Amino acid sequence: MSKYKEIKGFKVQTLASDTAASVAATGSWASGGNLNTRRFGPAGGGLASSQTAAIAFGGDQMPTEPRMVGNTEIYDGSSWTEVNDLNSDRGQLGGAGSTTAALAFGGEGEPPSFTTQAITETWDGSSWTEVNDLNTARKAFGGFGTQTAALAAGGNPGNTVNTESWDGSSWTEVNNLNVGASRKGTGTQTLGLVFGGGPSGPTFVNAEEWNGSSWTAVSDMNSGKANAAGFGTYRNALVAGGTSVPGGYQAIAEHWDGTSWTELADLSSGRNNMSPAGNFTSGLVAGGFSPPGTPSYGIALTEEWTKPDFQIKTVTTS
C-alpha cells in the first residue's frame, strides 16, 4: 500500500520498491486588480502579507512629474484601495509587515538630486509615523520581515554590503553580505534570502542565505537579473521578473527549494521593480517598470501566483 511523507513541506507518495517517483511543482499567473496609482519601485509586505491582504507603498511614476509618490494601497484579493500616504514620497524603498502593521525604510527622493533616503516609517493600519532612520541611506536593496523585526541588505549607492537589523525601535549594523549589490530579498529577520543585483556580470545570478547572524552563498539562479520581486521563505521562494544583462526586461520566474533553482511559469510580460506579497503557494507582484516605448514606464498591473499542483510522475521498473 502507498504511504505519504512530508519532504520540505510537500506531501510525497512513497511507492513499492519496483517503482520510481518524482515530484514536479507547477503553477500559473493570473491577472489581478490594477493599482490605482501606476508606479515602479513600490515596497510591499512580502511574506508578512498575503495574496488577499497585501499592501503597496511609495514608488516612482516615471515619466509623470512629480516622479516620487507616497501613495499607499491595500489589496483585498480583487481590488486595491487608496489609504493614507507615506510622510516622505520616495521610490525603490524597502518594505516589511502587513496591511495593519507595516514598515517602510530607505529609498530615493525626487529628481534631479535623487537623494538616497534613510527615513523609516511605521504603519498602524490607518497612518504612517516617522521613527528612527537607517544607519546607511540606501535604495534598491533587499528589505523584508515584519514591522518589529526586519532586515535591510545591500543596495545603492556604491553596491553596499551593509546589512542592518530592525528591532522595532532602532537599526543595528550586523554582518555584511558577501557580495555588495542592488539586492532584493524575502524571508524573515532571522531566516532570509537575497538574490540577483548588480553591479554587472556574474553577480546578477548570485544568491545568499541569512541565518540570523551571517550570510552564506548558495547556488546561483539560472538567469541573471536585478530588481526582481521575490516572495516566500528562505528555503521555498519564488523570484519573478527583473532586469537582465545587458538591460532586457525579464518575465522569467524561478523557484528556490533550498538547494537549487527551477524555472516555472513566466509573468505575462517582462518588468522589474515590483511590490511582492505572500508565499510560494499563493502570492502576487504589483506595479513595476516596463520597457521604454510602452505607454507608461511605471505600470499598475497586478499578477497573482496560484497554488502549485504537485504532480507525482511514476515510472515502473522491471
Domain boundaries, the chain: 27-309
Residue 21 has pLDDT above 60, yes or no: no
Task: Copy the grid coordinates of residue 150.
Answer: 526586519
Rg (CA), the chain: 19
pLDDT of 65? 87
Region 199-219: what's the mean pLDDT? 89
**Amino acid sitting at position 168:** G
Residue 177 has pLDDT above 60, yes or no: yes
Measured CA to CA, the distance from residue 150 to residue 161 in angstroms comes to 17
pLDDT of 4? 37
Region 189-217: what's the mean pLDDT? 90
pTM for the predicted model, two decimal places: 0.88
Per residue in 293-316, pLDDT (tens digit) is: 666 789 999 999 987 655 444 444
Q: What is the CATH number of domain 27-309?
A: 2.120.10.80
Taking every pair of Cα atoms in the chain, the longest distance, rounded to a whole number of angstroms, is: 70
Percent of the chain predicted with pLDDT > 90: 77
pLDDT of 209? 98
pLDDT of 1? 39
Residue 113 has pLDDT above 50, yes or no: yes
